[in-house]
Structure 1
Amino acid sequence: MATPLLASDGRPIAAISAALDPAEADRLDDVGEELKKAVAVLGPRYGLNHA
């Protein structure tokens, strides 16, 4: 599971990702939402946007 980090001009510059044990595969949607929220909160602090 990954979500991109975008520069202020929209260029992709990095990604934040997470891995789960196969036994936790049912949590993929929740983890994806957590990643998007983390990027939305932290990205602007570093001059980044999220997709």
Structure 2
Amino acid sequence: MTIAKKLRCDTCGAEVDNLRRDVVDADYNALNKPALWNCDACYNAKRVQREQDKQEK
């Protein structure tokens, strides 16, 4: 049997089962940025912040 290894969020350091990353989205391109893998909480917070930043422009 294989034991799943916990993954570490690059933003907060939490150990989780799954990580997420946006690479390309409407008005967002991270292809040339260093890869940052996020837990669900950090991923959602970054998406909210990106939307707020977009609305302020």
TM-score, structure 1 normalization: 0.41
Structure with the higher fraction of residues in helix conformation: 1
TM-score, structure 2 normalization: 0.37
Structure with the higher fraction of residues in strand conformation: 1
Please tell me whether Structure 1 or Structure 2 has the larger radius of gyration of its CA atoms.
2
